């Protein structure tokens, strides 16, 4: 039914975005779902000693927080991996929604913030003490700003795709990522390692999974119509 109308609709969409860049409804299309997993022994995550910041130490006294480089889930799955279309992308919509990056209990929420090029995001300090936000880009311009408690959110965006580590010098254990992508087709694996990328127009894609410790893996996927493809990324893990 819908496929019948797809091509004319797509043409119209192309023309309209090119001419007027009107708000566009998300194109219907195929979906890729799957899991990010590992084989081998992953490094043991270390408990974070927040003694330096008594506020945070108190907050996490009951259940200690661990480092988040390799967060594993049941069934050898990996959390916080980013899966995105790295080649053959089509039908991406520009990111306009303002994302939120929170600093709470001396941790970054979320640990990995994926966004599109030129997509605005705000950085919020929910703690009663100072943080400084120091993203360490190599291509994008670098900045390092501190955010005293009670000050308005910092607004930012990046105009080139890049994987940017983020740190807080005041609390050196705080560690996060800004993932700036050229596409709107991306997903971050959840606590069970699963991800799902929706709305892919038919075509041949390369999907890449990125994990901060283990690097990247790529797979080719062909989407024919409104189908759902299932793929699994498997990283090799080393204990140290």
Partner 1 sequence: MGKAFGVVLIIITLVSTAVFIFHDFHGISLWLPVDASAHGHRVDHQLMETMYGSGLLFVLSQIMLGLFVWQASDRPEGWKYKIFPGGAKPMVISAILLVGIEILTLSFVGSKVWADIYLTPAAPEALPIDVQAGQFAFYFRYAGADGKFGALHAEKIDEGSGNFFGLDPRNDVAARDDVVVASLVIPVNRPILLTLHSKDVIHSFYVRELRIHQDIVPGLMIPLHFTATQTGRFEIVCTQLCGLGHYQMKAYLEVKTQEEFDKWLKDQEAAQ
Partner 2 sequence: MSEAAHQHAEPTGFIRKYIFSVDHKVIGLQYIGLGIVAVVLGMILSWLMRLHLGWSTLAIPGLEKLSPAGAPGNVMTPEYYLSLMTMHGTLMVFFVLTNVPFAGFGNYFLPIQVGAPDMAFPRMNMMSFWVTFTAFLVLIAAFFVPGGPPLSGWTAYAPLSAVGQDAGPGEGWGQTLWALSIAIFCVAQLLGALNFIATTLDLRTKGMSLARMPFSTWAWFITSVIGLLAFAVLLPACVLLILDRTAGTSFFIPGGLVISDRLQAHTGGSPLLWQHLFWFFGHPEVYIAILPAIGIVSHILPAFLRRPLLGPRVLISCLAAIGFLSYMVWGHHMFVSGMNPFSAILFSVPTLVITIPATIATLLWIGSVYGARIRFTCASLFCLGFISVFISGGISGFFLAQPSIDTYLHATYFVVAHFHFVMGVAAIFGMFAGIYFWLPKMVGRMMNETLGKIHFWFTFVGVYCIFMPMHYLGLAGNVRRYAAFTDDYLAPLIPVHQFITIAALITGAAQFIFLFNLVWSRFRGPKATENPWQATSLEWSTTSPPPFDNFGGRQLVVHQEPYLYGVEGSAGDYVMQTSPETVEAR
Interface with partner 2, residue 139, by CB under 8 A: no
Stretch of 8-16, 56-64, 142-150, 204-212 lying at the interface with partner 2 (CB under 8 A): 142-150
Task: Select 168 or 197, whichever has its Cβ closest to partner 2.
Answer: 168
Rounded to the nearest 10 degrees, how much is the dihedral formed by the CA atoms of 157, 161, 165, 166?
0
Which string of DSSP letters, residue by residue, matches 210-227?
A: EETTTEEEEEEEEE-SS-
Cα dihedral 189, 190, 195, 198, rounded to 10, equals: -110
Kindly state whether residue 136 participates in binding partner 2, applying the rule CB under 8 A.
yes
For residue 229, state whether it binds partner 1 (rule: CB under 8 A).
no
Give the x-and-dash track for 91-130 against partner 1 (CB under 8 A).
Answer: --------------------------------------xx
**CB of residue 55 vs partner 2: minimum separation in angstroms?**
10
Taking CB under 8 A as the binding criterion, the range among 45-53, 114-122, 197-205, 215-223 that sits at the site for partner 1 is 45-53
Per the CB < 8 A criterion, the answer to whether 210 and 216 are in contact is yes
Which tokens belong to 179? 């993932």
Measure the CA–CA gap between 165 and 135, rounded to whole angstroms.
Answer: 6
When CB distances are held under 5 to 8 angstroms depending on the partner's kind, the choice from partner 2, partner 1, none that residue 94 binds is none
Is residue 17 a contact residue for partner 1 (CB under 8 A)?
no
Q: Which does 65 bind (CB under 5 to 8 A by kind): partner 2, partner 1, none?
A: none
Sign of CA dihedral 74, 78, 79, 82: negative
Residues contacting 121, CB < 8 A, separation 6+: 98, 99, 100, 101, 113, 115, 155, 156, 157, 178
Nearest of 240, 181, 168 to residue 216 by alpha carbon: 181
Give least dist CB 146 to partner 2, A.
5
Cβ contact 173:182 at 8 Å: no
Residue ranges in contact with partner 2 by CB under 8 A: 54, 129-130, 132, 134, 136, 142, 144-152, 154, 165, 167, 169
Positions that interact with partner 1 (CB under 8 A): 43, 45-53, 67, 69, 129-130, 132, 146, 165, 167, 169-173, 175, 213, 238, 240
């Amino acid at each position: 039914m819908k496929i019948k109308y797809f091509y004319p609709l797509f043409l119209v969409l192309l023309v309209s975005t090119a001419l007027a860049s009107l708000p566009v409804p998300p194109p219907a299309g195929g979906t890729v779902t799957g899991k990010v997993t590992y084989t081998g022994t992953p490094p043991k995550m270390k408990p974070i000693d927040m003694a330096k910041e008594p506020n945070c130490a108190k907050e996490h006294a009951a259940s200690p927080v661990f480092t988040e480089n390799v967060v594993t889930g049941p069934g050898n799955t990996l959390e916080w991996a980013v899966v995105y279309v790295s080649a053959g992308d089509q039908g991406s919509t520009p990111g306009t929604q303002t994302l939120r990056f929170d600093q709470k209990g001396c941790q970054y929420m979320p640990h990995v913030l994926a966004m599109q090029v030129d997509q605005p995001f705000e950085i919020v300090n929910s703690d009663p003490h100072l943080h400084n936000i120091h993203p360490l880009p190599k291509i994008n311009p670098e900045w390092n700003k501190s955010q005293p408690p009670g000050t308005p959110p910092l607004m930012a965006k990046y105009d080139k795709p890049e994987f940017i580590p983020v740190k807080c010098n005041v609390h050196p254990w705080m560690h996060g990522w800004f993932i700036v992508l050229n596409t709107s087709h991306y997903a971050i694996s959840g606590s069970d390692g699963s991800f799902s990328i929706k709305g892919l127009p038919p075509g041949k894609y390369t999907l890449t999974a990125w994990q901060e410790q283990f690097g990247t893996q790529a797979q080719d996927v062909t989407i024919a119509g409104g189908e759902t493809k299932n793929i699994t990324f498997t990283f090799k893990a080393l204990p140290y």
